Amino acid sequence: MPNMPLLDVQNLTIVYRTNAGPVIAAEDVCFTLERGRAVGIVGESGCGKTTIGMALMGLLPENGFVQQGRIIIEDTDLLSLTKPALRALRWKKMAMIFQAAMNALNPVHRVGDQIAEAIQTHYPDYSADKTRKEVAALFDLVDIPRNRIDDYPHQYSGGMKQRAVIAMALSCKPDLIIADEPTTALDVIVQDQILKKIKAFQDDMNIATIVISHDIGVVSEVCDNIMVMYKGRMIEYGKCEEVFMSPAHPYTVALLSSHLSLDSTYDFQADIENITEAPAASVLPGACGYAEKCRHADVQCFVQTPAWRHLSSTHRVLCLKVVTNDQ
C-alpha cells in the first residue's frame, strides 16, 4: 500500500490511578498520521495532550496505563511490545521533545556532550570521533553555530536551548517526532524560527510530526490536521483549513475567537463565550462533556453522549447540534 499511515492510533484510552480513584486522562482517541505530515493537538492545559504523547513514547508514569486501544507504528503494535523491545524502538522510531525540556538541560554539562551522550546510548559502537561529527551535523541542522558546541546551557538563549533539545530528539533519526509545547515561553520571533525549523524537518526529512500546544496559533503554522481536545476527549478533528474556516464544535469556535492576532478584531466589551478553566475528567455520564459551558446546550446535551458526525470525509466533530450533510 503506498499510503499506509506511519502511525495509527485507535480508541486510545489512558487512565491514571490516583488516591482519589482512577482519572481518565484521554478517552477514545483515534487518528492516523502519514510520513511528512503533521497533526496538531490543541486544548487547554490538563486536557490530556501530554498524556497522549507519553503513551505514544511508551513512557507513561507508573500510575498511568493504557486501558484500551491500539497504537501502531508502521507494522508494530506498541502496546504488545515488551519493555526491551519498546526501548529499542524509542528514539529511533519515535522521539519526543518534552514539555519544558529546554529547562531540563543539565547545567553542569556542555550542551554538545549531552547530545553526544544521547547518541552514544543508542549507538554504543560509534567512536568518539564519529559521535562528535554527528553532533556537529545536528548543530548545523538546527542552525546553532558549531563554535557553541562546547558551551554550557546557561550560555545559550532560550531559543538556542530549544534548538539543542530538538537536535537531541533528532539524534537517532526518528520517523515520528512529538513536540510537546515546543515554543511555550519563547518570544514570537524565536517561536516563528523554531516552528519553521520543525516544518523544514517534516518536509526535508519526511518526518511525521505531532505538535502539542495550548496555542492554536502555533499549531496553525505547521500542521496539516488538527485535533481539538477537551477534558480528555477529541472533540473535533479535521484538516487545518476546515477547522479554521468552519469550526463546528462550540468549544473550537470559542477557542478560535479568543485567539488574538494582528488582523482580527476582538471586542472586549462584548459578552462572548468565556472559556473558563475546566478540571480534567469529571464528565457527567451520559452527557456532552462541554455541556456545562456550552452556549448551545439544551436538554438533549445533558442526557445524551454525542457521537462523531462527519462534516466531510476528513472533518468530524463530537457535538449533537452540528448539522451534517451526510446523514
Partner 1 sequence: MISDQDRIQSPADIILRVENVVKAYEMRHFSFGGSHKTSPAVDNVTIRINRGEAFGLVGGSGSGKTTLARLILKLERFDAGAIHFEDLNVGKLKGPSLKSFRRKIQMIPQDPYQSLNPYFSIFETVAEPLVIHRIGDDKARRRIVENAMVLSGLTPAADYYDRYPHQLSGGQRQRVAIARAVVLEPQFIIADEPTSMLDASISIAVFKLLHTIKRRHNVTFLFITHDLAAARHFCERIAVMHRGKIIETGATEKIIGNPQAPYTKALIAAQPRFVSFRNIGKESAKK
Partner 2 sequence: MQSKTETGKHERHSYRAKLLIDAWRLFHDNLIGRIGVCLLIVFGLMALLSYIPPHVDPMYHPMTGVDPEISYASPPSTRHWLGTDNIGRDILSQLLTGARVAFLVGISSAFISIVIGTLIGIVAAYWGKMLDGLLMRFADMVMVMPSLLVILLLSVLFGQLSIWTIVILIALFRWPAVARVIRSQTLSLKQRPFIDMARVAGASHLRIIFRHILPNVLPMALLYMTFRITSAIIVEAALSFLGFGDPNTVSWGMMLQWVWKTGHMFQAPYWLLPPGLCISFMTLSFYMMGRAMEEVLDPRLRRVRNAKHAAA
Ligand X SMILES: Nc1ncnc2c1ncn2[C@@H]1O[C@H](COP(=O)(O)OP(=O)(O)O)[C@@H](O)[C@H]1O
Of 14, 16, 38, 50, the one binding Mg ion (CB under 5 A) is 50
Contact status: 228 vs ligand SF4 (CB under 6 A): no
Q: State which amino acid sits at residue 143.
A: D
* Choice between 187 and 298, CB closer to ligand SF4: 298
CA 306 – CA 28 distance, rounded (Å): 13
∠ Cα 259 248 203 (to 5°): 65
Contact status: 152 vs partner 1 (CB under 8 A): no
Asked if 266 and 53 touch (Cβ cutoff 8 Å), the reply is no
Q: Which one of Mg ion, partner 2, partner 1, none is in contact with 280 (Cβ closer than 5 to 8 A by kind)?
A: partner 2
CB of 305 to ligand SF4, least distance (A): 9
Binding mask 234-273 for ligand X (x = CB under 6 A): ----------------------------------------
Q: Which one of ligand X, partner 1, partner 2, none is in contact with 20 (Cβ closer than 5 to 8 A by kind)?
A: partner 2
Contact status: 321 vs ligand SF4 (CB under 6 A): yes
CA 29 – CA 197 distance, rounded (Å): 28
Contact status: 282 vs ligand X (CB under 6 A): no
Contact status: 213 vs Mg ion (CB under 5 A): no
CA distances from 268 to 259, 271, 273, 296 (A): 12, 8, 11, 21
Span from 15-23, 93-101, 180-188, 231-239 in contact with partner 1 (CB under 8 A): 180-188
Alpha-carbon torsion angle 183, 188, 193, 194, nearest 10 = 0
Asked if 240 and 250 touch (Cβ cutoff 8 Å), the reply is no
CA 205 – CA 40 distance, rounded (Å): 19
Interface size with partner 2, residues (CB under 8 A): 8
Residue whose grid cell is 472533540: 235
**What residues between 33 and 72 interact with ligand X by CB under 6 A?**
43, 45-51, 61, 63-64
Q: Provide the binding-site residues for ligand X, judged by CB under 6 A.
A: 16, 18, 23, 25, 43, 45-51, 61, 63-64, 280
